């Protein structure tokens, strides 16, 4: 059979949503390359996806349903048939519902696939059931809340705007690992003369692109932004005309930041000297069109939403929004382009089931809830690895009375704790629509190879479960393609200029966010003062510093994506390392490459020690979310993170944890 090349999209939780060209022969994927015609990724992929075929045809793929035959967590299973597996699930659920009610069942899903059809395939089913609702805040809801507090529903600028900026600030974002194609635009702007700064805790891979790297104290970014504003106001560097006509609350802000955020005080909080802060503010004001890209890093703290809000307010002071290329970017949201209710079916929801925050899974599984959680259905997520407070999560998953089903492509930490494991397809075996969250690109995909082994897509799985549970709504039996066809019938002003036929044929397209006069806030202006919030003005909220001396940064790894790609020997780092400054190693008598134990009140994790001059004193960096299978001890990094949530938005606080080492 001849080889042929077809389009697809990277399915993973990455802002870029790159276009793929997939070479297929004889129902096998031979190679995967970047699609030069994709408007944002333009033909390049990251190291992770360049050999996606190794994931798709991995010998580690799950190919048949498995029933647990050993103790929970040991990973001992025997194959069973799909009809048997579905029967067992439906029978067990009927019993649980009869005794405890449907809220005793909790779905747990996140972002294994970002396709809007497969990702949300479980919502209608669990709504129909009346199961507990899951608050999906494990990523960065604090970023959204911080943006909204100031900009309301104003759509984010296109990332391409950065090409017109003359000062680009990458603030708490390791774009070289997590937003590669945006960084490509930054490099282009740099060639045209733009200055680039990073603001981070340690010099990550992105720092090399920048002219200046500002290293700050963890969780101090909100104070830094307010300190910069102080100098802009004090030294008359603000755009008074813009503030008078486009902004609400500048007078009130001025009254607060002049006494409260002088450079000496902000220096004590951030660790930057008053001179550096003053120079930063002056350079920021001198720029014609400064552009700030806010990463998730600084948002994963107990003050995360307020930090983001404080930074989002900054460009308004110099009128950056009025200039081409000026402003700030936290990510795009193009949900309004699609009729998401058609996918999620909120109308199937009767009554108001309780909501459980996914970052508090450990607590939900181990404390007395009313009703108790008696069944957990995990799909395209790996909570045993990615959720905070791993010890508590594993304690919950080990409960003999908890009926756990995991739909997965690989035997993950979570799958090992399942009563039943069901094999899932990869994105090249299903149909979907992908909309990026780092640009406005959208693209539909079709299956390029048949499902591997007996694997089924999320949507096919919920069709089977609906039948078994007697949910007769014809909706459940719609195929992914039928649902996509229905979705494509909706047209709204996001689709202006897009040829629907080409979109339907699989070509990438770029949505246009609807433009309106002014800003999409209640006042129509940028709201530095927001009377609907507890704190009416941006202010600095300190983070808690407990008795442990080192701040733990659990940053993304370059070649894995959360726990995804752990299946790939060619991508995983050789050893699970913790990086610290030589001062921290010496003071504890710890040697390079030795096995060390990191500990705090949450738990203990073994790492190999990496001594790194670049990591500041007081910080420990653990990159990547590992599978326990490849960890030197029996736990991975999230045994050290807590279930505390962000100040607003119910987000996770993965970076807001402290440890010691021995």
Four-residue CA torsion sign, 367, 369, 374, 375? negative
User: Do the Cβ atoms of 385 and 410 come closer than 8 Å?
Assistant: no
Q: Which residue is nearest to ligand MGD (CB)?
A: 297
Q: Is 469 in the site for ligand SF4 (CB under 6 A)?
A: no
Q: Count interface residues toward ligand SF4 (CB under 6 A).
A: 13
- Taking each helix axis from N to C end, the angle separating 250-260 and 221-234, rounded to the nearest 10 degrees, works out to 100
Q: What residues between 220 and 259 interact with ligand MGD by CB under 6 A?
A: 221
Instruction: Single out the residue of 8, 18, 38, 310 in contact with ligand SF4 (rule: CB under 6 A).
Output: 18
Q: How many CB atoms lie within 10 A of CB 470?
A: 8
Binding residues for Mo ion, how many (CB under 5 A)? Answer: 1
421 binds, among Mo ion, ligand SF4, ligand MGD, none (CB under 5 to 8 A by kind): none
**Interaction residues for ligand SF4, span 507-566 (CB under 6 A):** 561
Q: By C-beta, is 481 or 512 nearer to ligand MGD?
A: 481
CB of 651 vs Mo ion, minimal distance in Å:
10
Task: Based on the shown chain and the rule CB under 6 A, indicate whether residue 14 belongs to the binding site for ligand MGD.
Answer: yes
CB 625, min distance to ligand SF4, A: 15
661 binds, among Mo ion, ligand MGD, ligand SF4, none (CB under 5 to 8 A by kind): none
User: CB–CB of 134/109 below 8 Å?
Assistant: yes
Which of 366, 371, 367 lies closest to 354, judged by CA? 371
* CA distance linking residue 144 with residue 156, whole number of Å: 11
**Residue position matching structure tokens 């009809």:** 83
Q: Is 603 in the site for ligand MGD (CB under 6 A)?
A: no
Which 3 state secondary structure label does DSSP give 553?
A: strand
Nearest-angstrom CA–CA distance, 186 and 165 = 9
In the set 41, 382, 600, 610, which binds ligand MGD (CB under 6 A)?
382
| Contact pattern from residue 121 through residue 150 relative to Mo ion, giving x for each residue in contact according to CB under 5 A and a dash for the rest | ------------------x-----------
Which of 583, 580, 604 lies closest to 594, judged by CA? 580
88 vs 652 by CB, closer to Mo ion: 652
Residue with tokens 């045994």: 639
Candidate ranges 7-15, 307-315, 367-375, 618-626; the one touching ligand SF4 (CB under 6 A) = 7-15
Helix 82-100 with 458-469: angle, nearest 10 deg: 60
Q: Of the candidates 140, 270, 600, 643, which one interacts with ligand MGD according to CB under 6 A?
A: 140
Q: Does 48 bind ligand SF4 (CB under 6 A)?
A: yes
Phi, psi for residue 80 in degrees, rounded to 5: -135, 170
Give, for 4, the enclosing helix (H) or strand (E).
strand 4-9
Give min distance, CB of 487 to ligand SF4, in A.
22
If DSSP codes are grouped into helix, strand and coil, which group holds residue 430?
coil
- Does the protein bind ligand SF4 through residue 49 (CB under 6 A)? yes
Contact of 40 with 439, CB cutoff 8 Å:
yes
Q: Assess 572 for contact with ligand MGD (CB under 6 A).
A: no
Alpha helices in 318-404 (DSSP H): 340-344, 361-366, 383-386, 390-397
* Residue pair 371/100 in contact by the 8 Å Cβ criterion: yes
- What is the 8-class DSSP label of residue 213? E
293 binds ligand MGD (CB under 6 A): no
Nearer Cβ to ligand SF4 (44/120): 44
- CA Rg value for the chain: 25
Tokens coding 479: 């195929």
Which of Mo ion, ligand MGD, ligand SF4, none interacts with 487 (beta carbon under 5 to 8 A by kind)? Answer: none
* 45 contacts ligand SF4 (rule: CB under 6 A): yes
Closest CA to 133 of 122, 148, 121, 146: 122
Give whole-number Cα distances, 299 to 142, 146, 534, 638, 655, in Å. Answer: 6, 9, 18, 17, 9
Residue 586 in contact with residue 605, Cβ under 8 Å? no
Binding segment (CB under 6 A) for ligand MGD, from list 177-185, 261-269, 340-348, 584-592 = 177-185
Helices 221-234 & 274-286 angle (0-180, nearest 10): 70
The smaller minimum CB distance to ligand SF4, of residues 89 and 177, is found at 177
- Rule CB under 6 A: say whether 386 interacts with ligand MGD: yes
Minimum CB separation of residue 329 from ligand SF4 in Å reads 17
Residue span binding ligand SF4 (CB under 6 A) among the ranges 38-46, 275-283, 337-345, 644-652: 38-46
Strand partners, 327: 291
Per CB under 6 A, does 180 bind ligand SF4?
A: yes
Contact call for residue 14 and ligand SF4 (CB under 6 A) = yes
Q: Which is nearer to ligand SF4, 19 or 249 (CB)?
A: 19
Going along 409-479, which residue ranges are E strands? 420-423, 432-435, 441-445
Binding at 577: pick from ligand SF4, Mo ion, ligand MGD, none (beta carbon under 5-8 Å per type): none
Q: Choose the contact partner of 17 out of ligand SF4, Mo ion, ligand MGD, none; CB within 5 to 8 A by kind.
A: ligand SF4
Tokens found for residue 102: 């449907």
Residue 175 tokens read as: 């774009």
- We find the least distance from the C-beta atom of residue 407 to Mo ion, in angstroms, to be 20
Instruction: Choose between 14 and 448: whose C-beta lies nearer to Mo ion.
Output: 14
Among 8, 132, 165, 173, binds ligand MGD (CB under 6 A): 173
Q: How many CA atoms lie within 13 A of 511 on its CB side?
A: 27
Distance separating alpha carbons of residues 417 and 411, to the nearest angstrom: 10
Which lies closer to ligand MGD via its Cβ, residue 103 or residue 641? Answer: 641
Residue appearing with tokens 């710890």: 590
Q: Where does this chain bind ligand MGD (CB under 6 A)?
A: 13-14, 110-113, 118, 138-140, 171-174, 177-179, 199-202, 204, 216, 218-219, 221, 295-298, 379-382, 385-386, 407-410, 412, 424-425, 458, 553-558, 560-564, 625, 637-638, 641, 654-655
Residues forming contacts to Mo ion in the complex (CB under 5 A) are: 139
User: Which chain residues interact with ligand SF4 by CB under 6 A?
Assistant: 10, 12, 14, 16-18, 41, 45-46, 48-49, 180, 561
């Amino acid at each position: 059979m001849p080889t042929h090349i077809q389009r697809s999209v990277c399915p993973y939780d990455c802002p870029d949503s790159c276009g793929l060209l997939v070479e297929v022969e004889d129902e096998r994927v031979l190679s995967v390359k970047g699609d030069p015609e994709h408007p944002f990724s333009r033909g390049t992929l990251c190291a992770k996806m360049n050999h996606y075929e190794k994931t798709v045809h991995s010998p580690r793929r799950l190919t048949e349903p498995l029933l647990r035959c050993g103790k929970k967590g040991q990973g001992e299973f025997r194959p069973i048939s799909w009809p048997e597996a579905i029967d067992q699930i439906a029978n067990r659920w009927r019993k649980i519902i009869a005794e405890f009610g449907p809220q005793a069942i909790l779905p747990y899903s996140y972002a294994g696939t970002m396709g809007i059809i497969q990702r949300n395939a479980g919502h209608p089913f669990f709504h129909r059931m009346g199961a507990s609702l899951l608050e999906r805040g494990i990523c960065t809801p604090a970023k959204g809340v911080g943006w909204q507090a100031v900009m309301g529903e104003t759509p984010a600028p296109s990332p391409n705007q950065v090409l017109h900026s003359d000062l680009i600030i990458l603030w708490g974002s390791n774009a070289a690992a997590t937003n590669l194609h945006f960084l490509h635009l930054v490099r282009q702007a740099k060639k045209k003369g733009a200055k680039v700064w990073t603001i981070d805790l340690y010099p990550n891979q992105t720092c090399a692109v920048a002219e200046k790297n500002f290293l700050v104290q963890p969780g101090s970014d909100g104070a830094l932004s307010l300190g910069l504003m102080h100098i802009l106001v004090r030294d008359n560097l603000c755009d008074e005309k813009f503030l008078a006509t486009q902004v609400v609350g500048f007078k009130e802000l001025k009254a607060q930041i002049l006494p409260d955020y002088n450079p000496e005080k902000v220096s004590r909080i951030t660790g930057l000297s008053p001179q550096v802060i003053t120079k930063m503010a002056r350079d920021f004001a001198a720029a014609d069109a400064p552009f700030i890209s806010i990463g998730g890093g600084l948002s994963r703290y107990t003050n995360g939403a307020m930090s983001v809000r404080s930074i989002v307010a900054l460009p308004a002071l110099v009128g950056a929004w009025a200039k081409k290329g000026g402003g700030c970017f936290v990510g795009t949201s193009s949900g309004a382009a699609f009729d998401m209710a058609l996918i999620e079916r909120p109308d199937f929801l009767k009554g108001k089931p309780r909501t459980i925050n996914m970052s508090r899974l450990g607590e939900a599984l181990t404390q007395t809830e009313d009703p108790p959680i008696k069944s957990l259905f995990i799909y395209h997520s790996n909570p045993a690895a990615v959720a905070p407070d791993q010890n508590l999560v594993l304690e919950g998953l080990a409960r003999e009375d908890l009926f756990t089903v995991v739909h997965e492509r690989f035997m993950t930490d979570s799958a090992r704790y399942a009563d039943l494991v069901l094999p899932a397809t990869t994105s090249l075996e299903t149909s979907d629509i992908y909309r990026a969250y780092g640009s406005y690109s959208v693209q539909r995909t079709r299956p390029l190879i048949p499902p591997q082994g007996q694997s089924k897509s999320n949507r096919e799985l919920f069709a089977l479960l609906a039948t078994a549970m007697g949910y007769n709504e014809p909706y459940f039996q719609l195929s992914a393609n039928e649902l996509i066809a229905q979705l494509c019938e909706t047209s709204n002003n996001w689709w202006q200029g897009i040829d629907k036929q080409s979109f339907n044929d699989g070509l990438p397209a770029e949505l246009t966010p609807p433009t309106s006069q002014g800003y999409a806030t209640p006042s129509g202006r940028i709201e530095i003062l927001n009377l609907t919030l507890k704190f009416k003005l941006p202010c600095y909220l300190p983070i808690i510093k407990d008795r442990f001396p080192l701040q733990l940064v659990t940053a993304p790894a370059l070649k894995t994506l959360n726990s995804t790609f752990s299946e790939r020997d060619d991508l995983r780092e050789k050893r699970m390392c913790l990086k610290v400054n030589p001062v921290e190693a010496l003071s504890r008598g710890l040697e390079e490459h030795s096995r060390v134990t990191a500990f705090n009140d949450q738990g203990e994790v073994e790492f190999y020690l990496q001594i790194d001059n670049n990591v500041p004193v007081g910080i420990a960096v653990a990159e990547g979310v590992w599978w326990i299978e490849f960890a030197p001890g029996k736990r991975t990094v999230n045994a050290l993170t807590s279930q505390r949530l962000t100040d607003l938005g119910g987000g996770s606080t993965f970076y807001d944890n402290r440890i010691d080492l021995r």
